[in-house]
Amino acid sequence: MTRRGSPTCSHTGLIRSSFVPPAATQELRDLTRTRKQLVREIAQHSLRIQKVLEDANLKLGSVLSNVLGCSGRAMLDAIVAGEDDPERLAALAQGNARKKMPELREALRGRITAHHRTLLKLHLGVIEALQHTLAELDVTLGKALAPIRQCVRLLSTIPGVSDVTAQVILAEVGADMTRFPDAAHLISWAGLCPRNDESAGKRRSTRVRKSATWLKTALVTAAWAAVRVKSTYLHAQFLRIKARRGPKKAILAVAASILTAVWHMLSNGVIYADLGADYFCRLDAGKTIQRLLKRLADLGYQPQPTPDS
């Protein structure tokens, strides 16, 4: 299409308008995206600290689940201050970490140099600055979320959707669902439905579009958390599709189901109502019975029908 023809097509309705959220939603979107970038940077510096420890032959990460936790941070600060005795460093352990004293002493026997201490001090300083910035950002984000706090509570009732994920969803799509005629339009905009890429009667690709990256990432993360909650519709849906199409397509389908629930919940102002793990069995009881009978026959059993009581 030429640039000259674009205004005509737009005026006649041949070009669909794109979703442009209001200014408040765009500002909220900037805040949630910035928060994720800060969290990512903290994680990157945490990995760099572990690399420095490995270079110094300190296996602290193999004993402590979080090197930047209370125990790990106390030990790192002591190392930066010049302490290198395994006994005294291990004595800084707190809480449940004190149950691993022998492992800690062995993990803290290394070769710490001034260069290692310099690098640790730099990374710890950057992490502290990032955490301070993150705390300030959370305060600002809390004020921006005040008008839609009830929407955050609604979305948090979906399995796998935490408060942070709910905030990201609202920042990306807004709380006003009138911009999307139905849930299918929202799923299509988010790029969670297969493409209809067909030419000359041949289907070339059904891969999902690269669209709404921030939203899609949050939904997929929520989907993985949701399928770990057993006896739910989302768990049953994942297992059902995974058996036929594989885990990747199954998790995208679960993400699309979560977004479908989001549209209905925000449109009607209701909490999440789970359809139940037996939804698909109830949907087509006849097929379920035939499948189970076939499975019994494959195992060598001959089930006998009984009259209805």
Residue 124 lies inside a defined structural domain of this protein: yes
In this prediction, residue 116 carries a pLDDT of: 95
- Residue 11, pLDDT > 60, answer no
Last residue within a domain, chosen from 78, 113, 147: 147
Residue 260 lies inside a defined structural domain of this protein: yes
Nearest to residue 38, comparing CAs of 119, 120, 128?
A: 128
Phi, psi angle pair for 2, to nearest 5°: -80, 160
Q: Which of 3-12, 30-39, 150-159 has the lowest mean pLDDT?
A: 3-12
Residue type, 218: A
User: DSSP states of 271-300 as a string?
Assistant: ------TTHHHHHTHHHHHHHHHHHHHHTT
Residue 15 lies inside a defined structural domain of this protein: no
In this prediction, residue 131 carries a pLDDT of: 96
Last residue within a domain, chosen from 131, 147, 163: 147
Residue 85 belongs to domain with CATH number: 1.10.287
- The answer to whether the beta carbons of residues 233 and 273 sit under 8 Å apart is no
Q: How far apart are CA 210 and CA 192, in angstroms?
A: 9
Q: How far apart are CA 229 and CA 251, in angstroms?
A: 14
In this prediction, residue 31 carries a pLDDT of: 96
Do residues 179 and 232 both lie within one domain?
yes
Q: Which pLDDT tens digit goes with each residue over 264-295? A: 999 999 999 999 888 887 877 777 778 888 88
Do residues 168 and 278 both lie within one domain?
yes
Do residues 129 and 180 both lie within one domain?
no
Q: Which pLDDT tens digit goes with each residue over 189-242? A: 998 887 665 565 666 656 666 778 899 999 999 999 999 999 999 999 999 999
| Whole-prediction pTM | 0.81
Nearest to residue 250, comparing CAs of 262, 259, 241?
A: 241
Q: How far apart are CA 237 and CA 267, in angstroms?
A: 24
Share of the chain above pLDDT 70, in %: 87
In this prediction, residue 309 carries a pLDDT of: 44
Residue 231 lies inside a defined structural domain of this protein: yes
Residue type, 128: E
- The answer to whether the beta carbons of residues 97 and 64 sit under 8 Å apart is yes
Q: What distance lies between CA 145 and its chain's CA centroid?
A: 20
Residue 16 lies inside a defined structural domain of this protein: no
In this prediction, residue 294 carries a pLDDT of: 83
Q: Specify the number of domains making up the chain.
A: 2
Residue 207 lies inside a defined structural domain of this protein: yes
How far from 55 is each of 46, 49, 112, 180, 202, CA to CA, in Å?
Answer: 14, 10, 9, 53, 55
Q: Which domain holds residue 137?
A: 23-147
- Residue 73, pLDDT > 70, answer yes
- The residue among 256 and 307 whose pLDDT is bigger is 256
In this prediction, residue 30 carries a pLDDT of: 96
Share of the chain above pLDDT 90, in %: 67
- The answer to whether the beta carbons of residues 50 and 107 sit under 8 Å apart is no
Phi, psi angle pair for 124, to nearest 5°: -65, -35
Do residues 247 and 271 both lie within one domain?
yes
Do residues 209 and 83 both lie within one domain?
no
Do residues 278 and 160 both lie within one domain?
yes
Residue 80 lies inside a defined structural domain of this protein: yes
Do residues 156 and 273 both lie within one domain?
yes
Task: Report which listed range, 39-53, 187-201, 295-309, is most confident.
Answer: 39-53
Do residues 153 and 279 both lie within one domain?
yes
SS percent in the chain: helix, strand, coil, step 5: 65, 5, 30
What does the pLDDT average to over 141-163?
94
In this prediction, residue 102 carries a pLDDT of: 92
Q: Which residues of 229-268 are buried (b: 16+ CB within 10 A; e: fewer)?
A: eeebbbbbbbeebbeeeeeeebbbbbbbbbbbbbbebbee
Phi, psi angle pair for 204, to nearest 5°: -95, -40
Residue 189 lies inside a defined structural domain of this protein: yes
What does the pLDDT average to over 147-162?
94
Do residues 126 and 157 both lie within one domain?
no
Do residues 100 and 188 both lie within one domain?
no
- The residue among 308 and 303 whose pLDDT is bigger is 303
Do residues 167 and 105 both lie within one domain?
no
In this prediction, residue 246 carries a pLDDT of: 92
In this prediction, residue 282 carries a pLDDT of: 81
In this prediction, residue 268 carries a pLDDT of: 93
Nearest to residue 140, comparing CAs of 40, 42, 32?
A: 32
Q: How far apart are CA 164 and CA 161, in angstroms?
A: 8
Q: Which pLDDT tens digit goes with each residue over 105-140? A: 999 998 999 999 999 999 999 999 999 999 999 999
Do residues 107 and 207 both lie within one domain?
no
User: DSSP states of 170-181 as a string?
Assistant: HHHH-S-GGGSS
Residues 6+ away with beta carbon under 8 Å from 21? 29, 173, 174
